[in-house]
Amino acid sequence: MEESYTQTISEKYRPINLPRDCSDIKESNTKSGVYTIYIDTVGGKQVYCDMDADGGGWIVIQRRSERKVKFERTWNEYENGFGEVAGEHWLGNKYIHLLTNTVKFELRLNMETKYGKDIYAVYKSFKLGDAASQYQLTVNDYSGTAGDALQRQSSGKFSAIDRGGHNQLAISYGPWWYKGGSNTWLNVDQIENYWGKHGYIGRKTTMMIRRL
């Protein structure tokens, strides 16, 4: 009887009338803010939906502004998420994996140079592997004004201050996807963020994903 009125992304977990991401929410509400989406195997999860950038429908997975929230944290904290959804926060690697594992997502990064100029990078293909893969990063197909700095980290595995193949780099430059080294990091507390050709950049960063 249950399967007669329930349908989901994987035909099991999300009733068809509940939003799976911010793109679904955008169909009825175009105002940026905190909403509940329904992720397979998890159920309801509060996220911040950005409805203003490039047509809206974005799930914010990282936001930093005043650096009042500590980002140099442990593996478990990055896995489960931390901070305030309406403010500075990390959504949680396990949720990012579940969202990007079944359908195609794009990634957008909004940043600013150390002189306060807005820059952005978009990757039309973005995916995180599961915990067994150490939340391995896959990004492809760049466009934007910031320069393609993250592509170098594609296939890199996530490292936190207490765990990961490059946790010494995470201690120095913040938890991130490292692959031998890095020319990007956006989760450090003690020094400034860093992005490719721009070098050290401003403290404000937003990472967000959208279903294609």
Domains, the chain, with CATH or none? 2-211 (3.90.215.10)
E strands, 132-183, are 137-144, 157-159, 176-178
Residue 207's pLDDT band, with cuts at 50, 70 and 90, is very high
Q: What is the mean pLDDT of the chain?
A: 91
Count the Cβ atoms, other than its own, within 10 Å of residue 116: 8
Q: Is pLDDT at 184 greater than 70 in this prediction? A: yes
- Encode pLDDT of 121-139 as tens digits: 999 999 999 999 999 999 9
Please state, in angstroms and rounded to a whole number, the distance separating the CA atoms of residues 13 and 69.
33
CA angle (190 as vertex; 148, 207 as ends), nearest 5: 35
pLDDT in tens, 32-70: 999 999 998 888 999 999 999 999 999 999 999 988 999
Count of helices and strands (H, E) across the chain: 5, 14
**Residue 69 contacts by C-beta under 8 Å, 6 or more apart in sequence?**
82, 83, 84, 87, 88, 89
Is the predicted pLDDT of residue 7 greater than 50, yes or no? no
